[in-house]
Structure 1
């Protein structure tokens, strides 16, 4: 029977759950268990000091860099950037203190003074930081080793401590271990393979002949300084499957297929693990978990929750007023006008507690998950502690960026989910599974690059006995080999493309089993239903009174060109949803029209028209969209020729109106539109109706082909100007801005007669049901937004 006063220490909480699960049927009291982090905290005490939390630590570090030029370290001293970058300095300091290395030791090793300037700066920051901690009565991992004592009253509760070691002991940690072993019997179990020999050097003094054999399990009694157990380890896996995919997402299809395969073989789903070398991929896996296979040990990402989606959508919109960002607001039911009136108004102003709280409350109002709201409240509370202590006031836009970064880091606890455990590599320590699935087995993820080598080279680190990049990579390889060797079945996927390849480590593990083919098509059916589009091909017959419509030239053109398109657009009002970065012709045309309108708008203080005014107007429409930005630059150059040509024209003419809207009655129909420009020619004493055209394929009807005309835009404008000025002396022109010339509508009178005929036909059609059939001219479908519905792709 297990005794009450024995303590078992494991690397992870998951390993504890597995251990206790195996004991449930033993009819005995369960032993005490702790993770190794909890063990170190409970086994030591700090007298007369408080442990520094993350927010307080940041403030102390910010104070420590005051009056120090940290830009030479590649770090910014601005509050918002340092909020993220301070981790680099802190991790460097903790690494040194954990290994009992002084910055002076590194200076000695740096014989060529290559890092002298960096080390001098870091040394000043370190001294300042330690002084600030001491002055305020705090300790953290940087100074912990100076002040800790053993918590003997706690340790003496146990007759024996059994610790499962997976990883690496720092010098400070191993000193604590040795001190504990003098107080209570301490057994350490560890596993040896070719990749963790350096981390096991600390145990060599307990091994006969100082030789730790590879692929063995050991138990060392630290108190008695001897090996009490030694056993050869053999690989458990009898099945390995490796598949490559062109698309990262398509690995999820392989993952699902592997799960089904395992279950069909009789493997308990609770003993299947999905390991993610890059834990951020969990959010993508989560999106495709329709069957609810998975439970996420790292917690669930909130990137697909309203709190993050709304905050991210507003942030993107405030920074770029692109159509894709506007459509995202609409999709999420965010009131654009409210954002413009309330958040945009304060976005570039100093952030106060009041407007920060207003911003947070507005974002939170979209979320209804109680757990997420509580975690968000906690985040806001911590940020308020940081943001409003700064001596330098911050702008709302900078604070928003920090807030968004912190929101993205929130994880939700995954409870009552599937049986398949999804976990990161470190969570696999001291665990074994019947089947393990590892995705992203690529060079960029395995072994994963460390962020702790920012300030020093591996050579200097090796000379000062600090863990190097190579040491950390070997440790990761150790974890993978332990995981794979202890699993009966192993399924591995990787991305195989021009820019991605399987990790070279795979050749060390299973060189003969690597498959370099790609299998996207073989598994595609699992993620994507290959439904063919069901096109709407039925006749549409409806009673519509066309005389009740208010017709624009474009809606009439749509009806005459394709009745089906007219019905979908103007009766059913189905709008286009395309949010491509490629600018649409009307988007560019609208900007050019607006620029010309503003250019010719009379400025009482400056009646001179200058091309510099056009250039300045283009600057107002600068876009982050590179495609639109390029088009605008091209049109800026084109309008220079227009400026010269039109300046000469206006010597004999006068502009009467710009962007003149109208709504008139004609032959029993309401006609509406906006005339781009109305001039009066002093030489001919005639009005000139001008319609700007940016299209490079402008065509004008002639006396030979006008009978087939469907575009009556200039006729609409003629009727509007006639109604406005009560005068028939009107000429109508297209202003071709590409070739910079006026093109007259020479068949105007004939087309006005034809327009009357077409409108009479609309009256006749309205007396009965109308068949809104598709056009027979399939060339009209090339740029139609409804061509998918009509199967005219």
Structure 2
């Protein structure tokens, strides 16, 4: 007799139940290990993950695939490949084909997309066959049963917790014809999908029954099983980190109520929360079933730091490199090789040694390198950056065993299958994490899944409800925590539970967590005699000085560079620069202004010259081509009235109140009569400041432009050119504002101290906010 359980932990728990008995232990193994021994593929080798990625990327390398909106470029494809693999893996596991999806009229291009996916599948499977490989997609096609192994089992009992695919059901039924095979399960409201499979085989179970079913035969037995769970205590908390204190507090309470630490489990909907627990687990209370992620290893941290520096060198990346002790020659070697094809020896030399890591992870790292070596032999054109992407992807899935663990277990939801604990603590019970969103659901709609008979979103949610309900019904103490604020909501799964809302005293965190009370920062006045106008003054520098003297001190006296912000797509400043460049090109053309049509043609050509070629840039270009239609019409009207662009992006200097001014003017137009008009392009809402705002003004850009342009002739008007509306808005109150500027230039000729601004709103986006202690 052999017992089959969903996980290795369930096997260990099964063996532990015999610890007080003097008897021979029955044989047990996980279902993954069982299928690995019972099913074999002759004449083929299982493909490693790196090889699968390489072959799939080759399989999608045809022009029509672009219509699926999945990038084909290697680096981008690696990030999105999981959707394609999951799609084919699910079809294979459920023993469906793309033909089973045909006929579902869900959208106009559906048939075309199915044909493309069919071609991808054929390309990929042919590539696997050519290499003598198989993977999870083709395994059901080639696998055959090892009857010798099955007969040695004599009898099999499968302890079913959750869901089996169509392929797995078929394999078990075939085994049931060779040896007695029983499936044990509990019928609950949440495993209806499994109960439907059994009904199709003539077995109708009632909710609340525990059944043992003989596959390959008609007999089955049932017994009543309680589905009632204890009242769960539910704790809303203000932030995620406070949940660490909540978990520690619940452990202490459970121990006080008589539970042994080995009988307590902390279940994580998001296993990333384990890093927070580790941070504060100074007494080694917890053991982590998921282990420690390899990405936290020093070796991997250094690899990612170097890769990030090559991709985008910034001040933070340079500081990180220095902190990690990475030498300059290493940086240069990586940059030199980054886009070049690499061989295995060069790759190993560049990534460096990992011999300083623990022995428990070295073997996995060597296996990852060996796998990459095989890939590079088949694909010698891979660049160093592409090879590194594959290598890091492999490392992201590695785990280091927890060898310093305590008696209280921490595990993910799937690891709870087949085991039970008396005390259950679940943090992160928020709607964005419970239920967990599956990548499988992102490729096919629920309508299409229902049509093809595939598990849909509701089925997966019910399966997760089943895992939690089984965990709770077998416990005597249940505590659930979740974050409740403007961005987070509790999981809707709570509605199906018997709960009692409790209040967690967040002040306990001061006792449970090693928080350090924030020390009051002693304010030391910054005294530094300084003459701001010794050098030519720009409107920007004056604005900083008037907004906050301390910011001015950090920027212009200490010369501390502002750290660049991480970019997510195209930055507004990049679009603004490209737009200014395009308008400079268009307005400089001799025929600009002749007509609206001519203006549109010149602007379109200029946009092509200054905007990028990526998809995002092409989108922005089309948006601005449309927006600038009113600008082109207005320019034709201005031309008819005698105005034409005269100086564009012109750097000028002037003197006002004895102060040397400098700046670059977007545009100066000249009338046929010789008068001048200064225009400053604005791509957002035009800002106008009336007389009441003059006394508190900090931005004197228009006044600077007036003084600078006055060196070129008589300035009639200064204003903003609202590109969205296609109109020019004249600056009002110029004389009063010039008088105010005159007073300011007199008052700030010499500055001795640099105080912080009293207006905290100015600190919101200040790059030096942490230097002032206001971050």
The two structures have a TM-score, normalised by structure 1, of 0.66
- Counterpart secondary structure, 1:25: coil
1:153 shift after superposition: 1.2
1:41 corresponds to which of 29, 36, 40: 36
1:342 shift after superposition: 3.3
Q: Structure 1, residues 529-548: CA drift from partner, whole Å, max 9, x if none?
A: 354638899xxxxxxxxxxx
1:380 maps to which residue? Answer: 369
1:60 maps to which residue? Answer: 55
- Counterpart secondary structure, 2:419: coil
- Counterpart secondary structure, 2:20: helix
- Give the aligned length: 588
Q: Is the 2:208–2:226 contact (alpha carbons within 8 Å) kept by the matching residues of 1?
A: yes
1:397 shift after superposition: 4.2
Change (3 A) 1:171 1:643: same
CA–CA distance in structure 1, aligned partners of residues 297 and 409 of structure 2: 22
Q: Structure 1, residues 629-650: CA drift from partner, whole Å, max 9, x if none?
A: xxxxxxxxxx97873338xx9x
1:271 maps to which residue? Answer: 263
RMSD between aligned residues = 4.3
1:328 corresponds to which of 285, 300, 320: 320
What pairs with 1:225-244 in structure 2 (closer than 5 Å)? 225-235=218-228, 237=230, 239-244=231-236
1:302 shift after superposition: 3.7
1:513 maps to which residue? Answer: 500
1:312 corresponds to which of 304, 326, 330: 304
1:489 maps to which residue? Answer: 477
Q: Structure 1, residues 708-732: CA drift from partner, whole Å, max 9, x if none?
A: xxxxxxxxxxxxxxxxxxxxxxxxx
CA–CA distance in structure 1, aligned partners of residues 652 and 559 of structure 2: 17
Answering whether residue 594 of structure 2 is matched by residue 585 of structure 1, we say: no
1:339 shift after superposition: 4.2
2:673 maps to which residue? Answer: none
CA–CA distance in structure 1, aligned partners of residues 520 and 53 of structure 2: 58
1:123 shift after superposition: 0.5
2:433 corresponds to which of 423, 445, 463: 445
CA–CA distance in structure 2, aligned partners of residues 274 and 346 of structure 1: 46
1:162 maps to which residue? Answer: 157
1:450 shift after superposition: 1.0
1:119 corresponds to which of 114, 119, 125: 114
Answering whether residue 467 of structure 2 is matched by residue 479 of structure 1, we say: yes
Q: Structure 1, residues 411-431: CA drift from partner, whole Å, max 9, x if none?
A: 101124111111111110111
CA–CA distance in structure 1, aligned partners of residues 338 and 744 of structure 2: 46
2:397 corresponds to which of 386, 409, 415: 409
- Counterpart secondary structure, 1:23: coil
Q: Structure 1, residues 364-392: CA drift from partner, whole Å, max 9, x if none?
A: 47x44333344333323323333564365
Answering whether residue 418 of structure 2 is matched by residue 423 of structure 1, we say: no
CA–CA distance in structure 2, aligned partners of residues 388 and 740 of structure 1: 73
1:32 maps to which residue? Answer: 27
What pairs with 1:5-154 in structure 2 (closer than 5 Å)? 6-110=1-105, 114-154=109-149
Change (3 A) 1:231 1:61: same
1:180 shift after superposition: 0.8
What pairs with 1:431-470 in structure 2 (closer than 5 Å)? 431-470=419-458
Structure with bigger gyration radius: 1
Q: Is the 2:212–2:222 contact (alpha carbons within 8 Å) kept by the matching residues of 1?
A: yes
1:118 shift after superposition: 1.4
Q: Structure 1, residues 334-384: CA drift from partner, whole Å, max 9, x if none?
A: 33x34444334444545454542222116x47x443333443333233233
Change (3 A) 1:252 1:581: farther
Structure 1 residue ranges without an equivalent (≥5): 1-5, 538-553, 559-579, 593-610, 613-618, 620-638, 652-694, 698-737, 749-774
1:269 shift after superposition: 0.8
2:358 maps to which residue? Answer: 369
Q: Structure 1, residues 515-542: CA drift from partner, whole Å, max 9, x if none?
A: 5x675445344224354638899xxxxx
Structure 2 residue ranges without an equivalent (≥5): 531-549, 563-583, 586-609, 611-647, 661-697, 701-739
1:285 shift after superposition: 2.0
Q: Is the 1:436–1:491 contact (alpha carbons within 8 Å) kept by the matching residues of 2?
A: yes
1:298 shift after superposition: 1.2
CA–CA distance in structure 1, aligned partners of residues 318 and 741 of structure 2: 34
1:215 maps to which residue? Answer: 208
Q: Is the 1:270–1:421 contact (alpha carbons within 8 Å) kept by the matching residues of 2?
A: yes
Q: Structure 1, residues 149-181: CA drift from partner, whole Å, max 9, x if none?
A: 322211112332111011112111111111111
Answering whether residue 347 of structure 2 is matched by residue 356 of structure 1, we say: yes
Q: Structure 1, residues 4-52: CA drift from partner, whole Å, max 9, x if none?
A: xx10110011111011011122211111111111212222233333333
1:235 shift after superposition: 2.8
CA–CA distance in structure 1, aligned partners of residues 748 and 497 of structure 2: 81
CA–CA distance in structure 1, aligned partners of residues 369 and 42 of structure 2: 32
1:767 maps to which residue? Answer: none
CA–CA distance in structure 2, aligned partners of residues 746 and 531 of structure 1: 40
Change (3 A) 1:80 1:16: same
Change (3 A) 1:355 1:51: closer
2:196 corresponds to which of 194, 197, 201: 201
- Counterpart secondary structure, 1:437: strand
Q: Is the 1:360–1:380 contact (alpha carbons within 8 Å) kept by the matching residues of 2?
A: no
Answering whether residue 654 of structure 2 is matched by residue 645 of structure 1, we say: yes
1:452 shift after superposition: 0.8
Q: Is the 1:778–1:792 contact (alpha carbons within 8 Å) kept by the matching residues of 2?
A: no
- Counterpart secondary structure, 1:95: helix
1:497 shift after superposition: 1.1
Q: Is the 2:432–2:491 contact (alpha carbons within 8 Å) kept by the matching residues of 1?
A: yes
Q: Is the 2:174–2:216 contact (alpha carbons within 8 Å) kept by the matching residues of 1?
A: no
1:329 shift after superposition: 2.8
Q: Is the 1:107–1:113 contact (alpha carbons within 8 Å) kept by the matching residues of 2?
A: no
Q: Is the 1:16–1:33 contact (alpha carbons within 8 Å) kept by the matching residues of 2?
A: yes
Instruction: Report which stretch shifted further, 400-409 or 321-330.
Output: 400-409
Q: Structure 1, residues 434-461: CA drift from partner, whole Å, max 9, x if none?
A: 1011111011111111111233211111
1:533 maps to which residue? Answer: 519
CA–CA distance in structure 2, aligned partners of residues 788 and 134 of structure 1: 59
Change (3 A) 1:357 1:643: farther
